[in-house]
Amino acid sequence: MRRPALYIPPRPVAAAAEQSPPPAHADASLQRPAPPTTEPPARPLEHQVERPLEAPPAPAPRSQPPRWRRHARAWIGATALLLAGLLLGWQLATRPQALTQQDIDAAVRHSLETQALRSPVAQAVDRVAPSVVRVMGFGHERGRRPAHQGSTRGGEDHETSVGTGVVLVDSGLILTNLHVVKGAERIGLVFSDGLSASATLVASRPEQDLAVLQASRIPDDLVAATLASSTSLRLGDTVGVIGFPYGIGPSVSAGVVSGLDREFESPQGRHTLNHMIQFDAAANPGNSGGPLFTAQGEVVGIVTAILNPGTAKTFIGIGFAVPIESAATAAGMPPF
């Protein structure tokens, strides 16, 4: 005979766990130890007292700097600004400005109005004059009575000719015209510094009326002339002449190139000079052998002859010079 099933109400799990221990037959490996409790034990209510919230401490008041220090800082700042402004202004004032053509023209006009400029010929003379030499031929004129008993020649040693020379080499090599020294028994020189010396004829070229002299002594600071090729000359170029016309000098005259590659027949008709430079700078007897120079102070020719149909032998505006290329060749110097 079956028994009716008994209904047993469910128990609370927690309560069952607290009241009844685990069954004895349960596996020990399935039982886990309870984790340790880290929370502090609760205080009894009677020991917990609520405290009021405290406000954070107020910062200590900052001490104000002295008044003089505040003013000093202000003055330092103002001074620094002032110095920066002055520096900027100085840089702007000293910065080079681009010159315009109007500025250049104004400066040139001001210089011309306030300063006297020397002529190009005057500046050229400064370069040429130290190389110019006075050349003299000396001879003996027989007098009615001999100078002393037993003398084979009478009269006094006197100047028979005068001309001009140009120093080619600072060792004392001088170029002049042959007709200045031809027939002279003695040749004398006077340099630009006043030193007098004798000279000997070392070479000649009659077809071009050229002679080369060697001085017996020379100044310590003797300067040779600066030579330039005559091929660069053009009609109308400024040229100058310096020498001892009629023994007066040194004398300077200036003009232009009047012609090139001219021919000139000597008054005696003995020979014709070719490839001559024609110029209109004043030249007279005594200028022979002197330099024909440019506005740059460069010697381009040797003054040799003047054209004068009359008997006065004065300058009428036409002079001739041997190109320096031919003259230097006569002295044994290579042409340009």
Residues annotated as catalytic are 179, 209, 288
* Residues 79, 71: Cα–Cα separation, whole Å: 12
Structure tokens that stand for 9 in this block: 């109400």
Longest Cα–Cα distance of the chain, Å, equals: 214
Kindly compute the dihedral angle of the four CA atoms of residues 296, 298, 300, 301, in this order, to the nearest 10 degrees: 120
Alpha-carbon separation of residue 123 from 1, 138, 270 (angstroms): 166, 34, 39
Structure tokens that stand for 96 in this block: 């080079």
Q: Find out whether 275 and 105 touch, Cβ atoms under 8 Å.
A: no
Question: Which DSSP state fits 72?
Answer: H
Instruction: Dump the DSSP string for 238-264.
Output: EEEEEE-GGG--SEEEEEEEEEEEEEE
Amino acid (1-letter code) at residue 251: S
| φ and ψ at residue 130, rounded to 5 degrees | -60, -15
